[in-house]
Amino acid sequence: MAKSGLFNLDNLSSQNIDEDAELIPLMTSEDEEEINREELPDDLPILPLKNTVLFPGVVIPITAGRDKSIKLINDANNGNKTIGVVAQTNDDEEHPSYADIHKVGVVARILRVLKMPDGNTTVIIQGKKRFKITEPVSDQPYLRCKIEEFEELKPESNDNEFETIIDSVKDLSLRIIKDSPNIPSEASFAIKNIESSSFLINFVSSNMNVDVEDKQKLLETSDLKERALSTLKYMNLEFQKLELKNDIQSKVQNDMSQQQREYFLHQQMKTIQEELGGVSSEGELDDMRERAKTKVWKETVETHFNKELTKLQKMNPQVAEYSIQRNYLDLFLDLPWDHYSDDIFDLKRAQKVLDRDHYGLDDVKRRIIEYLAVLKLRKDMKSPILCLYGPPGVGKTSLGKSIAEALGRKYARVSLGGLRDEAEIRGHRKTYIGAMPGRIIQSLKKAGTGNPVFVLDEIDKIGNSHQGDPSSALLEVLDPEQNNDFHDNFLEVGYDLSKVMFVATSNNLATIHPALRDRMEIINVNGYTVEEKIEIAKRHLLPKQISEHGIKSEDIKLGKQQLEKIIDGYTRESGVRNLEKQVAKVVRNIAKNIAMEEDYDVKVSSEAVEKILGPSRPRNSYENNDVAGVVTGLAWTSVGGEILFIESILSKGKGNLSITGNLGKVMKESATIAMEYIKSNAEKFDLNSDIFTNYNVHIHVPEGATPKDGPSAGITMLTSLVSLFTQRKIKKNLAMTGEITLRGKVLPVGGIKEKILAAKRAKIKEIILCEDNRKDIEEIKEDYLKGLKINYVSEMHEVLDLALLKQKVKDAKIL
């Protein structure tokens, strides 16, 4: 049985009183006589109650949650509506038996049953007569016991002492109601209009704020006069408590001035704690003051802290604002205002750490060593704000940890992908419920130093919404001229971020806010060649997977040839993330063999790789030059470089140009430019002008599900069309990239290194680039260019001279 809703004189409020009069009847003498004439049955179903004692004549609501209790109530409500109600001896017992209940209870009548949405049942009952349990009858489906009447001994009608006790009970009840502002006036009306002395004592006993055991003793007291006297004693005790409470309030009121009224509740709580011998929250405030003395703050920060601490002192610890204010001051004390990690100026050690964790990435490593060298000479140099830009899986994020270790600093990281709320950066104003600082301040608190290496991951994937623009909020964070006084809305004072070394990572510079991009030093982290991936797999990925899968290095030998097979046949990426997954599959297979004690070859063969990983995936590679109009191009994507094929065909028609392959506007314009260039130079290519009116041209770029755009396929499209119209072969193993103009000029394009790597993966031997891209090639390591012949051009006729052979394709069309 769940807890009941009693009317306590100490906490009775107007919302407890049901407006339906039949639910709170005041028992008259006639009602009492009628109840006394009622005969009790030989046995009754017994309803055990927690924390509740029912008295004769009193109406109470109770909530039933136990299955047995609900069935008992339903059965009784459908029958004679009469049940026996007793209090449990142990309120913690969820399934009380005969041994767990008091043996004196009250016969009750069910007035109303209400079904609650949560499955519980609320029932309103009225006590009738006391009874005493003689023996149990059954315990299924609920407890049923034999009972006998527990008679009440009433005093003589001329007993003056009893009358005096009853008058005292009434008077004291009215005084308690009067001195308690939270008890409604209707309670006084009820007390004054009770005629029956027995019901008066029962009503007051039921509503007194005393323990269940004390109430049970009153119920078991058969002598009405003795019970009335005990009730009066309990009421006197309650009245003394009420007077003490009012005295405390008076003492606080007398000590208060007009200016102190705003924190009246705080003083009242403090006085109560002193009366009870407890302690106030002063100890917590003293601890904050002591911690504040150890901080080296600017004068403005210290003034603000002391002002906010005074506010906390005036607050009641029980209100919600108190915890917000306390958390606010705790943040002040936890932030590393004056604490910085000592940089390790050992440049050789730093280089060793960077080389140990990451293979390649020379530009990034060089920049970190340069920063450390200048910091060693100048000491107070502002930290650089770097942006590592490159395809996924090349180690941009993990590089942040290595930089932190190389410099001897703490590491902090915030993922910005999908961030849409400016408050995530600047924090919420602390007036809001649930307010907290922004991620920058939170991360610095967690790091514990004011100069960590702070990685802003996926900065290109920040969104914006009606809640603000996080990119704009980052402008202040990443501006060296402003971030020495960064303003977080929650903190409300400036915080110095100038010593923090911010390292952002990005896959696509185009989606970064231009002003934000301008504040960062962009470092291109390119993809890896096959040789570099093999070296990374041998140095890092394989040892890591061996350790994670609980095997030893001598349990598996994965050679260069097998690693190259995994890279070429099972991964299509610039980084090494998928390579690690495939290596993990191979290691897991070895771990399974070891765990199952199966025989296996320690040296993994190429056949074993294919058996474990399945058939290799075909990837784009160079196709032969047997078909006119098919040319290999080079493209850049956010995940690295790729090769693509430009296909074109002729069909009888009226000179229409069709372009397919999910191409963007720029690529379609490149196709139009190429077509117009050929028309204007038809004589150079020995073309009859009738071709352009008698044939339709269709240009297609395969993998139509993938969107494609950009100007770098211009020379590829023009070469494809010239090959189509002239039916000449394209040089073998050749790929190209570059933009064209209507005058036949070749313009430079971007993503050269990624395109070079894509060409090597596709076994391309020769590449055509714009002359202005020569500087990009000169910045690429020789290892990347090994086995490639680079041709530089400035005019379109140079491209055609290099790309087109004099030889016609087999089955060449006569146009």
Distance between CA atoms of residues 725 and 94, nearest Å = 92
Which of 72, 30, 81 lies closest to 49 in space, CA to CA? Answer: 72
pLDDT band at 22 (very low <50, low <70, confident <90, very high): very low
C-alpha angle 527/361/418, rounded to 5°?
65
Nearest to 402 by CA among 349, 463, 475, 440: 349
Q: Is pLDDT at 120 greater than 90 in this prediction?
A: no
User: Largest Cα–Cα distance in the chain?
Assistant: 140
What six digits make up the tokens of 795?
């005019």
In degrees and rounded to multiples of 5, residue 82 shows phi and psi of -115, 130
Q: Are 464 and 470 in contact (CB under 8 A)?
A: yes
Residue 397 marked in a binding site: yes
As a whole number of angstroms, the distance between CA 528 and CA 392 comes to 11
- Closest to 635 (Cα-Cα) out of 760, 736, 499: 736
Residue tagged 């077509």 (tokens) = 675
Asked whether the beta carbons of 715 and 639 are under 8 A apart, the reply is: no
Please tell me the predicted confidence (pLDDT) of residue 18.
42
Looking at 158-196, list the stretches that DSSP marks H as alpha helix, in order from N- to C-terminal side.
Answer: 160-179, 186-192
Three-state secondary-structure class, residue 437: coil
Residue with tokens 């009847």: 25
Answer yes or no: 251 catalytic. no
Q: Is 393 annotated as a binding residue?
A: yes
Q: Which residues on neighbouring strands pair with residue 636, listed in sequence order?
A: 641
Alpha-carbon span 726 to 405, nearest angstrom: 61
* Digit-coded pLDDT (tens) for 744-784: 899 999 888 888 888 887 888 999 999 999 998 988 888 77
Residue with tokens 């210290």: 302
CA pair distance 277, 587, nearest whole angstrom: 67
Q: Which two tokens stand for residue 260?
A: 């102190």
- Which strands, in side-by-side order, build the sheet including 521-524? 411-415, 453-457, 501-506, 385-389, 521-524
Question: Would you say 445 and 430 are in contact if contact means Cβ atoms under 8 Å apart?
Answer: no
pLDDT of 20 reads 40
Residue 107, amino acid: V
Alpha-carbon span 519 to 539, nearest angstrom: 35
Question: H-helix or E-strand containing 636?
Answer: strand 630-637
Q: Half-sphere exposure (CA, 13 Å, Cβ side) for 374? A: 10
Q: Flag whether pLDDT at 258 surpasses 60.
A: no
Confidence of residue 43 (pLDDT cuts 50, 70, 90): very high
- pLDDT for the residue 801: 92
For range 680-689, the mean pLDDT: 87
Contacts of 140 (CB under 8 A, 6+ apart): none
The token pair at 422 is 């400016």
Please, what's the b/e burial string for 215-237 (b: 16 or more CB within 10 A of its CB; e: otherwise)?
bbebbbbeebbebbbbbbebbee
Residue 428 pLDDT exceeds 90: no
Q: How far apart are the first and last CA of the chain?
A: 97
Catalytic site residue 533?
Answer: no
575-585 pLDDT, tens digit per residue, is 888 999 999 99
Looking at the DSSP bridge assignments, the partners of residue 107 are: 84
Alpha carbon distance 28, 284 (integer Å): 57
Q: Look up residue 112 and give its two tokens.
A: 């109303």
Give the integer Cα–Cα distance in Å for 563 and 540: 13
The DSSP-derived string for 114-136 is EE-TTS-EEEEEEEEEEEEEEEE
Among candidate residues 146, 143, 147, the one with its CA nearest the CA of residue 71: 143
For residue 15, what pLDDT is reported?
33
Q: Does pLDDT of 676 surpass 80?
A: yes
pLDDT digits (tens, 9 = 90+) for 364-396: 888 888 888 888 888 777 778 889 988 888 888
What is the mean pLDDT of the segment spanning 335-348? 87
CA-to-CA dists, residue 434 to 316, 324, 325, 327, angstroms: 18, 8, 11, 11
- Fill in the amino acid letter for 297: W
Fold type of domain 1-231: 2.30.130
C-alpha 651 chain-centroid distance: 58
Q: What is the mean pLDDT of the chain?
A: 84
The annotation status of 664 as a binding-site residue, yes or no, is: no
Helices (H), 387-513: 396-407, 423-426, 439-447, 470-477
Tell me the per-residue pLDDT of 52-97, one tens digit each, with 9 for 90 and over.
Answer: 999 998 899 998 888 899 999 999 999 888 999 999 998 888 889 9
Structure tokens at 148: 């006998």
The SS3 call for residue 108 is strand
17 pLDDT above the threshold of 50 = no
CA gap 574, 528 in Å, rounded: 6
Q: Which of 712, 723, 753, 760 is catalytic?
A: 712
- Residue 278 contacts by C-beta under 8 Å, 6 or more apart in sequence? none
Examine the pLDDT at 531 and tell me if it is beyond 90: no
With a CB cutoff of 8 Å and minimum separation 6, the contacts of 113 are 73, 74, 77, 121, 122, 123, 124
pLDDT higher than 80, residue 468: no
Nearest-5° Cα angle at 52, 51 to 53: 140
Domain coordinates in residue numbering, the chain: 1-231, 267-334, 347-524, 530-613, 630-808
Residue 810 has pLDDT above 90, yes or no: no
Q: What is the pLDDT of residue 131?
A: 94
Tokens of 505: 């990572």
Helix, strand, or coil here: 705? coil
Tell me: is residue 390 an annotated ligand-binding position.
Answer: yes
* Structure confidence at residue 1 (pLDDT): 44
pLDDT at 5 over 60: no
DSSP type of residue 541: I
Which DSSP state fits 208?
S
pLDDT of amino acid 4: 36
Task: Give rounded-to-5 percent helix, strand, coil for the chain.
Answer: 45, 20, 35
User: Which residues are within 8 A (CB) of 509 and not within 5 positions of it... i.e. 6 or more apart?
Assistant: 389, 460, 517, 522
- Which pLDDT score is estimated for 264? 64
* Confidence band for 270, pLDDT divided at 50, 70 and 90: low
Token pair 């911010």 is found at: 502
Question: Could you give the residue ranges of the DSSP H alpha helices within 727-795?
Answer: 752-761, 774-778, 782-785
CA distance 252 to 266: 10
* CA-closest candidate to residue 685, choices 632, 628, 746, 645: 628
Cα 803 to Cα 796: distance, rounded to the nearest angstrom: 11
For a pLDDT cut of 70, what percent of the chain falls above it? 90
Q: What are phi and psi of 435, to 5 degrees?
A: -65, 145
pTM score of the predicted model: 0.58
User: For residues 326-338, b (16+ Cβ closer than 10 Å) or e, as one string?
Assistant: bebbebbeebbbe
Q: How confident is the model at residue 253 (pLDDT cuts 50, 70, 90)?
A: low
**Integer CA distances (angstroms), 274 to 251, 277, 312, in order:** 12, 5, 20
Q: CATH number of the domain at 630-808, please?
A: 3.30.230.10
What's the pLDDT score for residue 12? 35
* Structural contact between residues 568 and 579, judged by C-beta atoms closer than 8 angstroms: no
Please state the CATH superfamily assignment of the domain spanning residues 347-524 in this structure: P-loop containing nucleotide triphosphate hydrolases (3.40.50.300)
Cα angle, residue 308 at apex, residues 306 and 312 outer, rounded to 5°: 110
Say whether domain 530-613 belongs to CATH 3.90.380.10: no
Q: Please report which confidence band the pLDDT of residue 619 belongs to, taking 50, 70 and 90 as the band edges.
A: low
Two structure tokens written together for 753: 């290194």
pLDDT, average across residues 465-479? 82
Tens of pLDDT, residues 537-558: 998 999 999 999 999 989 899 9
